[in-house]
Amino acid sequence: MTETATATPRPAETVPMVPTGRDGAVEWLESPSPVGYADAVAFMEDRVAGIRAGSAAEAVWLLEHPPLYTAGTSAQSDELRDPDRFPVYPTGRGGRYTYHGPGQRVGYVMVDLKHRGGDVRAYVHALESWIIETLAMFGVAGARREGRVGIWVEREGAPEAKIAAIGVRVRRWVTYHGIAINVAPDLTHFDGIVPCGIDGYGVTSLADLSVDADMKEVDDALRSTFGSTVGA
């Protein structure tokens, strides 16, 4: 069952979300219920256009998706192990196959890099730092690994496991897409793909690491660490 993001989405302005405040130039948005992927892409593209035009504020959007796989620009067909398990959405972000679903906090970041040094590599490094600092607030030591995209944690007696994914797209220096942190998703849903094209390692979550954290606590941590990493 393969669905593509070219399917006609609802108008972006109808995507359910709640503005939760501003930190400097950045508006924070939250969706209380899962958002379809095509709807999310439509909203982000509209917002990016508005940021470029100067008619919309930069934004961080916190949400969950229903169960689905996305295929980044480097995805390989043999990395989709179970194409009939969930809808599969080709997407313009960088990276390979990624799972999204309930229990995973997605953070879509729409900011103007022209006002943040104009360095895409530094921006990705900042997103990594944002995740690492957020996890540290729950006593989890996340880390970068050379040659492996995302944020990783060590586990006693088991291979290192991925706890967060990163995939970005930049259009005329305005970013969209972003990060995904596994809070308490069904980890068996990752079995249908080779996550981010990296085999031989595990996937984990805060719940899997025996960290009892709800989405609000994770959102509060993301907001408190954003200014010192990505920048308000």
The residue ranges of every structural domain in the chain are: 12-229
Distance CA 57, CA 36 (A): 23
Percent of the chain scoring above 90 in pLDDT = 73
Query: What dihedral do alpha carbons 91, 93, 95, 97 form, nearest 10°?
Result: -30
Predicted confidence at residue 196, as pLDDT, reads: 67
What are 96-144's pLDDT values in tens digits?
889 999 999 999 999 999 988 899 999 999 999 999 999 999 999 999 9
pLDDT-derived band at 92, boundaries 50, 70, 90: confident
Q: DSSP labels for 3-38?
A: --TTSPPPPGGGS--EEEEEETTEEEEE-SS---HH
Residue 181 near residue 140 (C-beta atoms within 8 A): no
pLDDT digits (tens, 9 = 90+) for 139-197: 999 999 998 889 999 988 888 999 999 999 999 999 999 999 999 999 999 999 887 66
Fold (topology level) of 12-229: BirA Bifunctional Protein; domain 2 (3.30.930)
Q: What is the DSSP letter of 167?
A: E
17-27 pLDDT, tens digit per residue, is 999 999 989 99
Q: Which residue's entry shows tokens 């008619």? A: 55
pLDDT, position 86: 95
Residue 13 is predicted with a pLDDT of: 57
* Confidence band for 12, pLDDT divided at 50, 70 and 90: low
Determine the pLDDT at residue 232: 67
pTM (whole model) above 0.95: no
Q: Is 119 helix (H, G, I), strand (E, B) or coil?
A: coil
List residues with catalytic annotation: 196
